[in-house]
Structure 1
Amino acid sequence: RLSGQPVEAVLLYSAKAAAAMQALTERPALRDLFEETWFFALSGRIAAALETVASEKLRVAPEPSEEALLELLRT
């Protein structure tokens, strides 16, 4: 459940989750919540499911592991 506060970061572990997140970001009532959101994908395949997310707001883990994904948050 979204609290009405802007979303800072989204971790994406699957293409299905990425597609669902994209659908949320496109809803007019929610669009403002995702304007400054950073998206972190576990792999390039998952990132590709985010067709409308600007590439400068999307980072892909260098290897498909949770550790690599979380390391992106630290950098």
Structure 2
Amino acid sequence: MGDIDESGDIDVFSKSNNGDMEAVLATVINIITHFFKHYPDAKVYVKGSTPARTRLNQIAAEQELKNFEETQE
């Protein structure tokens, strides 16, 4: 995940702080959930561009996954 820079490449180190992290993570969780419906034995590995971003994304993803699971009950 990242911002598109002027050359059209993804900049994984940018800090846009545009407030869309929850929406992006909810979308990613939704995509992963659909993926596992088709490939239940698969594994998904996600790593941030820095250790701090990996941890931040892990915390946010855990919360989004919890929210998603609550809506599926």
TM-score by length of 1: 0.34
More strand by share: 1
Larger Rg: 2
More helix by share: 2
TM-score by length of 2: 0.35
Higher relative contact order (CA 8 A, sep 6+): 1
